[in-house]
A and B are shown apart, each in its own frame.
Chain A
């Protein structure tokens, strides 16, 4: 049989239509396309794809089951390693993970592993299957998980499966972390995907306490000494927005991407005034940064009615850290890319509102410590652009509340919690940490991988305490 060197295409909403709505852009495979795509898999004797998956899903087995139309079997295989497959199938940067190592990628396009994972996960969610809670002993040991983002959810799910009594404490009024407040509806539907996947974790017996700000409502020490928790996992993420520190950042109309996306995704400001939270978008919007968060903010601004949205990125297209698919989608929707450009000042009017952005052109120098070529300003190349809204998406740091209120917990100079890479153990006995709070802002799947590792290590630790 001849090799098919291209992925089966996934239907998407027309760019001109979707630029004005918040519905999901990528529509997913149907059964026939999924089976046909699964048939492209060569079933390598030594599958390389698994190496690229941070949670080591048994990819050849689940794809084999899709070929046989055993879709229930396929999702069961995935769920042995991944608690949130409908989410990962959508938001993982597969081109840098599983699909990067696929043997077909050497000659053409890899097998569409992410799309296949999404297909079987969506099929199962649509069936609203009963999930049986795991049996738990009356005297099961108690584990507290701080933060209901990807790391915390996957850690909690794994621990519940092992029979522990798990409670997640979440600061916001909705679980999901970045899945709920950060990644937009048009990439990751909230009610049909995120909510359902979280409900599945609750069905395993995990309790979720919302509106509970760790470090203020209770400290880590109080959880262990007063509330009877035998171990704690900290998965509070990297949610503290960075600003550039240039003049004019406090003008009205300047947002952090976190605020802009939280208003839109979590508070549903795109449905204002049916929902009470307002959002302010002008005619011309600048988004500073080149990551996934920048793409999400830019595409959100477009859907909120901006006439022109410009991405301002200081390096060239080759260095853009966002997923290739999202950059492509952004371009199709008409997002303007100002590359090798960096803001130096936000310009405001006499009433304190943004009216423009002063930028400088950049050129690339030698590679820096990260291996990427360092951007250098070109002297005298400053120019002004008219803007009414500026969204800063240059990254986030760790929220300091937990570190400040937990004596004996070691942190790095940047404020991240120090934890063992393999066991997620911190400097404090019984306290584990993983995800962005340890690594700095990374991906959903890496956070989930850390949550799984931590669950295994917490299991070992609590077993040894029982003896």
Chain B
């Protein structure tokens, strides 16, 4: 059993939780993820590690309550426990001193997993710029945290309520236009955003890494449910990734596979509401 030490609602339906998992915290590295299961009837869901503290044994997860399982997780409070918390999983991000600027791009709650990457890249001696995208000012997360570990933060909002009006790709373009020498971009967020970033950087020749979020079951390489096509090859995101070269990823295939259980998800959500597990706490 793993105890929830802290729970905060950062914006509507977006929650942050510190989980007490000292063994996972001891080994966690930027870019890795965990798989959790709320209770005995629960499914295994992957969440990227947003922060870790080896001293206090805490792992920070940030998630959006969109489906039955994340709604159930969101219904728990500090002091409650979750049944299973497995990790760290996946390959860590490659951390190195680059010949140029490191840019992390986070969209929506994808900002959270870019935070440990930005911090590790900064600690490795790089100039780090963070681009954070949100639909509107109210749902922007982790701005102060990100400012503390980077040289510069650019915020974009779709409606222009804060920062640059437009999408994260507009901010990337702004950096290019001002002559910033970008060595690498790591983009994490909705698939459509990662695809747009990869499309925008392809012609510019900027090495672009994306962190993929396909459907997973075990997260240890034994089922292949998370398989993605990368440069004509089939890869398992849980053991070969989750980070891959964004210019080689078959995003269309990824988006299609993410829709595999759409009808079942609707049934499940309805079931949860019906028996009152989700919203009555």
Contact = CB atoms under 8 A, between A and B. Distances in A.
Interface of A: 171-173, 181, 210-213, 216-218, 239-241, 243, 245, 249-250, 252-253, 255-256, 258-259, 262-263, 267-268, 272-278, 280, 351-352, 399-401
A351 B260 CA distance: 10
Interface in B215-242: 217-218, 220-225, 227-229, 234, 239
Contacts of B261: 278, 280
Contact of B88 (A181, A216, A255, A277): A216
Given A258-B224, A273-B271, A276-B43, A216 B264 contact: no
Given A172-B218, A211-B84, A218-B27, 14 more contacts: A171-B220, A217-B88, A239-B222, A240-B222, A243-B224, A252-B259, A255-B225, A256-B224, A262-B223, A267-B217, A273-B68, A276-B41, A278-B268, A400-B221
Contacts of B24: 217
A65 to B, nearest CB: 39
Contact of A273 (B83, B84, B221, B267): B267
B257 A275 contact: no
A437 to B, nearest CB: 13
A209 B267 CA distance: 34
B27 A217 contact: yes
B87 interface: yes
A305 to B, nearest CB: 13
A212 B24 CA distance: 9
26 contacts: A173-B84, A173-B86, A211-B86, A213-B89, A216-B87, A216-B89, A217-B23, A217-B27, A217-B87, A239-B221, A241-B224, A243-B234, A250-B228, A250-B229, A256-B224, A259-B224, A262-B223, A263-B217, A267-B44, A272-B268, A274-B41, A275-B41, A276-B42, A280-B260, A352-B256, A400-B221
B186 interface: no
A401 B221 contact: yes
A278 B84 CA distance: 19
Contacts of B223: 241, 256, 258-259, 262
A211 B85 contact: yes
* Most A C-beta atoms less than 10 A away, residue of B69, B222, B225, B259: B222
A329 B84 CA distance: 36
B27 A258 contact: no
Ordered nearest first, which 4 A-B pairs have the shortest CB separation? A352-B256, A259-B223, A278-B264, A273-B271
A401 B257 CA distance: 25
Nearest to A251: B256
Given A173-B83, A217-B23, A243-B224, A272 B229 contact: no
A401 B256 CA distance: 28
Contacts of B83: 173
Contacts of B42: 276
B220 A400 contact: no
Contacts of A262: 217-218, 222-223
Contacts of B9: none
A138 B41 CA distance: 39
Contact of B264 (A172, A211, A218, A280): A280
B37 interface: yes
* Most B C-beta atoms less than 10 A away, residue of A216, A255, A400: A216
Contacts of B79: none
Contacts of A218: 23, 27
B253 interface: yes
A258 B271 contact: no
Interface in B41-88: 41-44, 68-69, 83-88
Contacts of A255: 225
Contacts of A259: 217, 223-225
Nearest to B268: A273
Contacts of B88: 216-217
B222 A276 contact: no
A399 B41 CA distance: 27
B86 A171 contact: yes
B159 interface: no
A352 B89 contact: no
A86 to B, nearest CB: 23
A315 B102 CA distance: 55
A255 B23 CA distance: 33
Interface in B183-237: 217-218, 220-225, 227-229, 234
A218 B87 CA distance: 10
B265 interface: yes
A173 B37 contact: yes
Contacts of A252: 256-257, 259-260
Interface string B155-179: 0000000000000000000000000
A258 B216 CA distance: 13
* Most B C-beta atoms less than 10 A away, residue of A171, A245, A280: A171
Contacts of A253: 260
A401 B239 contact: yes
A273 B259 CA distance: 18
A250 B41 contact: no
Contacts of A268: 41
A216 B265 CA distance: 31
A399 B222 contact: yes
Contacts of B217: 259, 262-263, 267, 277
Interface string B247-269: 00010010011011100110110
Nearest to A252: B260
A150 to B, nearest CB: 16
B22 to A, nearest CB: 11
A399 B219 CA distance: 12
* Most A C-beta atoms less than 10 A away, residue of B83, B221, B259: B221
A274 B267 CA distance: 11
A397 B135 CA distance: 45
Contacts of A211: 84-86
A35 to B, nearest CB: 40
Nearest to B265: A278
A399 B256 contact: no
